[in-house]
Amino acid sequence: MKNKTTKILLIYTGGTIGMVKEYKSGILKAFDFKKVVNNIPELGQLDCAIDSVSFKKPIDSSNMNPTHWVSIATIIENYYADYDGFVVLHGSDTMSYTSSALSYMLENLAKPVIFTGSQLPIGDLRTDAKENLITSIQIAALKENNQPVVQEVCLYFENELFRANRTTKINAEHFEAFASLNYPVLAESGVHLKVYKENLLKSKKAKPLIVHKELDDRVAILKLFPGFNRDLLQSILNIPNLKALVLETYGAGNAPTDEWLLNDLRNALNKGLHIVNVTQCSGGSVIMGRYETSKELERMSIINGRDITTEAAITKLMYLLGSEVSGKSFATIFETSIRGEMT
């Protein structure tokens, strides 16, 4: 019996990848993804059927917000039974945030959801868009024993496939725009496409997809810096209805030992604010208690973000708050890897 054709759905949200340049005027215009195969004939060489759906009004990724994340998740939910994989085309600026959020929102995901974009428009002479798009579709269509090889939310950019919730955008100009400094790549595209199966999320017993659409955005990020003062801290902690804070600390989770800082954080915790300690460093992990400057944070039971990225931390908070996780178990659940977002 012949295997049925693998079907891939492209979801275009906006971003540079979806633009083409009018050569006479030099103006960038949105690309009609219904004609994607005609405009990129190389896609015809892939052994899969490709359909597309677009946001009614494509947006710059700087305007992306949780409402749009829900829209993407809903499209995947509506078409989940009809397609073998999904490729989400998205602006690169906030791609790590969106893809991290989707990793939490799509529980029991058993198919690939690959985010990609580009630094140059699809019609540009030196564009990276074509390779990113073609290889993302190829990865989304990979099967072994009639099962998808990739069964998680990923981000593909410039020859490398990453776990989405491990990524950070590190460069606004180079084609190598993203890095995953605390987790190895899932696949590399060179002369051959090499998949590192040992790095992929291991598929569990098949369960129905659950799509979580309740996200709570009453969260904030506070980055420490030398000269950081109490007025700034209190202006953040006194935000009405604030529920959670990502505290970006130095090195392995260190912070100043000023009494006012520790007292204000302690008081905020006592009032029910969830505070997560995340390192400012691009790579490495929070290890509270290693230095005296993090001992007090450990004693007051601030949540240990370990090696999670800021993008994955803020979106995980939105997801857990939206899921109405109880205060007693909140820290334990946050410190537990639920989608491979922390080691």
* 244-249 and 274-279 beta bridge pairing: parallel
- Active site (annotated) includes residue 116: no
Q: Is residue 6 within 8 Å of 84, Cβ to Cβ?
A: yes
Residue owning tokens 């899932």 = 186
Q: Pick the closest to residue 112 from 15, 195, 3 (CA basis).
A: 195
Region at 129 (left for phi over 0; alpha for psi -120 to 50; beta for the rest)? alpha
Residue 299, Cβ neighbours under 10 Å: how many?
Answer: 12
Catalytic residue among 16, 98, 135, 279: 16
DSSP string, 8-47: EEEEE--SGGGEEE-TTT--EEE--GGGHHHH-GGGGGSS
To which H or E segment does residue 316 belong? helix 310-322
What is the distance between the alpha carbons of residues 137 and 154, in angstroms, rounded to a whole number? 12
Region at 324 (left for phi over 0; alpha for psi -120 to 50; beta for the rest)? left
What is the distance between the alpha carbons of residues 209 and 205, in angstroms, rounded to a whole number? 12
Distances (CA, A) of 309 to 59, 88, 143, 156, 334: 25, 21, 30, 17, 13
What is the distance between the alpha carbons of residues 289 and 309, in angstroms, rounded to a whole number? 20
What is the distance between the alpha carbons of residues 179 and 78, in angstroms, rounded to a whole number? 31
DSSP string, 185-245: -SEEESSSEEE-GGGSPPP-S----EE-------EEEEE--TT--HHHHHHHHTSTT--EE
The residues carrying an active-site annotation are 16
